[in-house]
Amino acid sequence: MSEQQTGLKQFWTQVIVEVKKGDINLSLWEALENAVPIAIEGDTLVLGFAPVNMKHSGYIRNPSNQGIVRRAIETAAGRRLTVQLIEGETLDAWERYKERRQAREETTEGTSRVGIQHKDAVARWLELARQIRDLYYDIGGREQPLNHARFLIKAIPLIHETEQEMRDLDDNEELLEVELNKIFDRIASLCQIPGGLVALEYLRYKGSRKKA
């Protein structure tokens, strides 16, 4: 046994002694005796349990026992430590636990980032829908086909600009098509023309921009 392990074992024995100075609590005492002090990293005390003994960790987590354990640890260590309970009794088990925790955090962070991007994209498409509406109602003589055409000439470049922005933000082809179709349907409803015709004019414009 290394000097560090010996020191941890002695420290943990002292913690148990401090706890047992208080009221009789056989379940907590048994839990502490089955816990293995693995490491102190910074302000964290890592306690491990063999898989068969992991059930005892609940007694240490129990809110009515946490204060008892915290005060005993503080007395033995001379400072306050946060307790981390894991399954496994070795440093390798602790390293694996940290790796799994980091992987979960990265996954959560990635999911949050995607969620934020999605919200930003939806907000931008909603802003475009507002611009399209305002553009239409700013046109005089809206009932005239020629003015519908003038409206389309102004609206289609706005749609193309937004699509390019969204591809830079989040190149989600499925979301792009959904939002584009919503815009086409909105314009079709305003102008009382088929949505497919609006989409056709958009694709023609988009194709001309590529050639240019």
Contacts of 6 (CB under 8 A, 6+ apart): none
For 94-99, the CB contacts below 8 A with 24+ separation are 94/38, 94/39, 94/46, 94/48
Residue 171, SS3 per DSSP: coil
Measure Cα distances from 146 to 114, 133, 140, 157, 160 in Å: 42, 18, 11, 18, 22
**Residue 83 sits in the same domain as residue 170:** no
**Residue 130 sits in the same domain as residue 167:** yes
Residue type, 155: A
Q: What is the pLDDT of residue 69?
A: 94
Does residue 103 belong to any structural domain of this protein? no
Q: What is the pLDDT of residue 193?
A: 87
**Residue 127 sits in the same domain as residue 76:** no
The model's pTM is 0.49
**Residue 7 sits in the same domain as residue 69:** yes
Give residue 173's domain range: 109-211
Does residue 100 belong to any structural domain of this protein? no
Cα-Cα-Cα-Cα torsion 138, 141, 142, 146, nearest 10 degrees, comes to -110
The low-confidence residues of the chain, meaning pLDDT below 50, are none
Does residue 101 belong to any structural domain of this protein? no
| 1, β-bridge pairs | none
Q: What is the pLDDT of residue 171?
A: 62
Does residue 67 belong to any structural domain of this protein? yes
Tens digits of per-residue pLDDT, 18-45?
999 999 999 999 999 999 999 999 999 9
